[in-house]
Structure 1
Amino acid sequence: MKRVLMALPVLGLLTALTACSGGSGTDGPIKVGAVNGVTGLFQTPEVPQAVKAVFEEVNKAGGINGRKIELLSKDDAMNPQRSTEAARELIDSEEVVALVGSSSAVDCGLNRATYSKAQIVSIPAVGVDPACFTSPNIAPVNPGPFKLLTAMLYYASETLKHDKVCLAFTVLPGSGGGIDAAIKEWSDITGKTLAVKDTSVGQGDPTPYLVKLKSAGCQAVVYNAQVGPWFAQAKTQGMQDVDFILMANAYTDANAALIPAGMKAQAGTEWQPYTDETLPGNERWAKIVNDNKIQKTAFSQGGVMAADVFVQVLKTIKGDITRESVTKAFKEMQPITYPMVGTPWVFGPGQTHNPIEGSRFVKAENGKWTVLPEGFIVPKRNG
């Protein structure tokens, strides 16, 4: 069946999200859960803050059919035991209707079976683990590192027109298969292959890796490790003509300041570049974070988007809002066009969910990031 895209104009977003849904509803708040990394090695405290701010906005406007939305966020501190306990408590004790805005590095891999068994949907703000994109009951609102990698390789070969595209990566445990799949997708689309594929890059002296890349004549290097030492040594090696394309985690003000003058450094972003609040979709996000004094990061963009799409789907439910009715609504929903990302977002009935594709790119200039004009680069097959 052909799906019809539901455009969501930026200026009308607030009105659309605060309107009440149809149906009779029940008393009490609509409980929504999230598993977040607030402490520990992967910290995203701004994400549940952003989700809560969106829900409070809806509640002040009357809620959903008169019911308020209550966010119950649990910090797993990137601890596997805490993550599994948090998910079970939210599902069994708190009886949440869905999980919205999770931002844990370990949640998806640990809890995917739990979500499927409970027949509950999760809409993470930040999908990190490959399991976030290969599970029937999880659909993140970001492209994730693997679809992002495909877009970055595509940008290097098709937009920048480089023949010798190279990869220099630090591979985290469990991510090797996702990286290989991303490279294969790029090769299938473009018919091209990597000139160098090095997935052994460490955090020590970058010289051996850079010498290998230079010797191979790499014109573009897609890279995901340390920034400061890497670029300092790349300049020493005379690699000013190479386009270094960094993963989204490098897109920070601090990293822009570490890139020496004369080096060509670009970074892919998962949402509209957050450093420019005037970009489509960013106006809404900026209002939420500015009004609530929330840290401005790309992850907070994911928090706002996850909450927004959840509310929009919630509004389509006729009758009581329960876990069963929410899951049904997401499995049967129409795609939502959200201007902060490159493709429409949809949950749907599939066994895997990676609906957001593409990337926008920023360039390091004078110690800051400048947004490049191409718009979202979404890999496309010829014909």
Structure 2
Amino acid sequence: MKRSLTSVAVVAALAMASAACSSSDSGTAGPIKVGSINGVTGLFQTPEVPQAVKAVFDEVNKQGGVNGRQIELVSKDDAMNPQRSTEAALELLESENVVALVGSSSAVDCGLNRATYSNAGIISMPAVGVDPACFTSPNIAPVNPGPFKLITAMLYYASETLKRDKVCMYYTVLPGSGGGIDAAIKEWTDITGKQLAVKDTSVGQGDPTPYLVKAKAAGCQAILYNATVGPWFAQAKTQGMQDVDFIVAANSYTDANAQAIPDGLNVYAGTEWQPYTDESLPGNERWAKIIDENKIQKTAFSQGAVMAADLFVQVLKTIKGDITRESVTEAFKNMKPIDYPMVGTPWIFGPGEAHSPIEGSRFVKVEAGKWKVLPEGFIVPGKN
């Protein structure tokens, strides 16, 4: 029996529609595509982050994937270039049809693309949240405390653990970060009732002597500092500031910086995750296994990458039915808090208009050119 042209056209149309559905983010066939925007090149380079996220996904894929589907990471390098970052987000959402963004580590992504993510109904869980917008957007929830919650923890550690009365800040401020720093200081003041003795956010990369002379004259007992390590601490020793507690930000927590700090100075660093230099700490064994097996550079940022990927997979496995952008977003908006041993507080996305779920910091101190993990555990302001 011959088919009519009309029936043939209908069958063809249904077949095309079925193929289109199965290849988009709303179908169950093919891989689960997950996006990420990272600084692989440029001023803020974190190539180890997408490598670590992919390593976790590869591990899951070898075990059969999620609901029988493989997870495919599509990482875009924005090189800290605003135009490239916005283009990367659009490519991931429109061309790649990703269901979520996981493990991003761009310094400009959140501020540029927050509205895009909200309009698209997609969630982003950065491995490294830097910009204030990472923590004040309805569809973004990083897995790190970020520089501002870390400042609050550093101030709290100086005044409440080290018992310093005159706490000072000498910082280099990135464009757009001033408000976040002010909010972090206010949070510390609200908790403790204390004020900074000196606040200077104009520290440059030149001669640190004028700043240190000023700090010494002001009687600073503890100093928060976030710029270049070597010259600052060489001059601090010259100035005879061995009785001052210096607390550096997480970006200074590297083996090279520990070696550059002269003996005799009291230098601490606040960390966002368990200190990566001690692989025996809770959560670090899992991270070190992934990193070692895949020959990835060991950094604190790669800790955030493994954590973001682990949490994503855990929530993904709770989804019943199709894994789509819509079902993934719904799952994260309605999830319960997850305890992850690498950080100080449970992580949750949730339905709010802003997300800053991780608080607190662990502290390390330089001894003989190496970082020593201090025994207090995570310092969560107002809670210990």
Q: What is the TM-score normalised by the length of structure 1?
A: 0.93
Trace 1:354-369 onto structure 2 (pairs within 5 A): 354-369=356-371
- Over the matched positions of the two proteins, sequence identity in percent amounts to 84
Give the Cα–Cα distance (whole angstroms) in 1 for the partners of residues 78 and 383 of structure 2: 40
Query: For 2:179, which of 171, 177, 180 is the aligned residue?
Result: 177
Deviations 1:274-325 (A, max 9, x none): 0111000000000000000000000000000000000000011111000000
2:268 alignment partner in structure 1: 266
Query: For 2:210, which of 208, 211, 232 is the aligned residue?
Result: 208
Query: For 1:114, which of 113, 116, 141 is the aligned residue?
Result: 116
**AA at the equivalent of 1:262:** G
1:299 partner SS? helix
Deviation at 1:226, TM superposition (A): 1.2
**AA at the equivalent of 1:378:** V
The 8 Å contact of residues 203 and 225 in structure 1, kept in 2 or not, is answered as yes
**AA at the equivalent of 1:248:** A
1:10 alignment partner in structure 2: none
**AA at the equivalent of 2:376:** E
Question: In the alignment, does 2:190 pair up with 1:188?
Answer: yes
2:234 partner SS? helix
Give the Cα–Cα distance (whole angstroms) in 2 for the partners of residues 43 and 195 of structure 1: 34
1:217 partner SS? coil
Trace 1:1-383 onto structure 2 (pairs within 5 A): 26-380=28-382
2:181 partner SS? helix
**AA at the equivalent of 2:316:** L
The 8 Å contact of residues 154 and 379 in structure 1, kept in 2 or not, is answered as yes
Q: What is the TM-score normalised by the length of structure 2?
A: 0.92
**AA at the equivalent of 2:78:** D
**AA at the equivalent of 1:354:** S
Deviation at 1:119, TM superposition (A): 0.4
Deviations 1:47-101 (A, max 9, x none): 0000000001000001101000000001111111111011001001110000000
**AA at the equivalent of 2:321:** G
2:116 partner SS? helix
Q: 1:36 to 1:380 in 2, by over 3 A?
A: same
Give the Cα–Cα distance (whole angstroms) in 2 for the partners of residues 247 and 378 of structure 1: 16
Give the Cα–Cα distance (whole angstroms) in 2 for the partners of residues 40 and 163 of structure 1: 40
Give the Cα–Cα distance (whole angstroms) in 2 for the partners of residues 54 and 172 of structure 1: 32
Greater C-alpha Rg? 2
Deviation at 1:381, TM superposition (A): 6.1
2:363 partner SS? strand
Give the Cα–Cα distance (whole angstroms) in 1 for the partners of residues 200 and 72 of structure 2: 46
The 8 Å contact of residues 190 and 381 in structure 1, kept in 2 or not, is answered as no
Give the Cα–Cα distance (whole angstroms) in 2 for the partners of residues 38 and 229 of structure 1: 28
The 8 Å contact of residues 189 and 381 in structure 1, kept in 2 or not, is answered as no
Instruction: Report how many residues are paired.
Output: 358
Task: Flag as ranges the 4+ runs of structure 1 deviating above 6 A.
Answer: none
